[in-house]
Amino acid sequence: MNAVAVSTDFAGRVMHNEPMSRHTSWHVGGPAETYFEPRDAEDLVAFLRALPTDVSVHWIGLGSNVLVRDGGLRGVVISVHGALDGLERLNEAQVWCEAGVACARLAKQCVKWGLGPAEFFAGIPGTLGGALAMNAGAFGGETWRHVLEVETIDRQGVRRKRPAAEFRVGYRSVIAPGEEGYLAARLVFEHRPEAHQDEIRDLLARRKQSQPIGAWSGGSTFTNPPGDHAARLIDSAGLKGYRIGGASVSNKHANFFINEGEATARDLEELIKHVQRTVEQVHGVHLEPEVRIMGEPA
Ligand SMILES: Cc1cc2nc3c(=O)[nH]c(=O)nc-3n(C[C@H](O)[C@H](O)[C@H](O)COP(=O)(O)OP(=O)(O)OC[C@H]3O[C@@H](n4cnc5c(N)ncnc54)[C@H](O)[C@@H]3O)c2cc1C
């Protein structure tokens, strides 16, 4: 892919033809034409202002919910992990958290502050930015239940504060009023002095029992259909262990698809389609991908 012509009037790191397999938990994905890691929010403003308007922009956190196709991503991929890493307590119950902060750090810090329930964030291997985009949740907790307002940035580099009421939020779904990236959020929790590090340990242990933690996966591949579980439907359609190329349906948790080491994004996408078709034939239920499939085929 050709490199996008970008100005050099900013301090962050610009990489051209950067393999997205280095930035996704599935360890697959072709190159990003340009990959930008800003130094801070002001640096990101400068970058976006200077970026030609016809260049498309993609946001990435820790890449734990994306399947980037083997042909890669045209335009610019912006990663704020490592840059927007501020986390502070504003008052008794409120926290200001920047989008690059890992969910695990947010969980641990809230426990230290005696705020909760935030323990559910501990096992979500992404950033707050990704959690805001996905309305990530676990063990009954959900990101947007705690959001009072977010700070966003648009394609022209304009920063805004938007109250939570401007977003339509559902199960793993967030409809935003504009096409903007998340910079930060003001979150609210309850005062829970009894919240304890042990609770995080217990939740992580429960995950380890039921999920293939450590394997290269994208977490839950499909959302759960109303009143049922995608994993149950996939398992009872006889698909546990089913394999296409280097990609397989986990034997431990049927909604987790694994890169066994040599999978391509195409293997994973074909596995997703095969499972979708089979579950539809066997159960008459259409599974919707939770993972975001992006980019160009090889
Ligand atoms: C082992 C494993 C376990 C998981 N368990 C859970 C779970 O329990 N619950 C759950 O909900 N999810 C789970 N996931 C999925 C994933 O961790 C979450 O969806 C997480 O919120 C994604 O965050 P991320 O930073 O990795 O985002 P990415 O995967 O990088 O991006 C996901 C989406 O968010 C967008 N995005 C990312 N950052 C920004 C930003 N700053 N501004 C605007 N858009 C942005 C991207 O464009 C993309 O559309 C799991 C994944 C794995 C691999």
From 69, 172, 186, 266, active-site residue: 172
Write out residues in the chain with pLDDT < 70, as ranges: 1-9, 195
Type of residue at 245: G
| Known catalytic membership, residue 56 | no
| Known catalytic membership, residue 172 | yes
**Rounded Cα distance, 115 and 110, in Å:** 5
The answer to pTM > 0.95 is: yes
**Rounded Cα distance, 263 and 184, in Å:** 34
From 64, 217, 220, 250, active-site residue: 220
Ligand 1 centroid distance, CA of 143 (Å): 11
C-alpha dist (Å) from residue 253 to 126, 232, 241? 20, 9, 10
> What local confidence, expressed as pLDDT, does residue 193 receive?
77
Ligand 1 centroid distance, CA of 137 (Å): 10
Question: Residue 136: CB within 6 Å of ligand 1?
Answer: yes
Half-sphere exposure of 23 (CA within 13 A, CB side): 28
Residue nearest (by alpha carbon) to ligand 1 atom 19 = 65
Ligand 1 atom having least distance to the Cα of 128 = 25
> What local confidence, expressed as pLDDT, does residue 93 receive?
95
> What local confidence, expressed as pLDDT, does residue 1 receive?
47
Ligand 1 centroid distance, CA of 80 (Å): 13
| Known catalytic membership, residue 199 | no
Ligand 1 centroid distance, CA of 289 (Å): 13
Ligand 1 atom having least distance to the Cα of 218 = 53
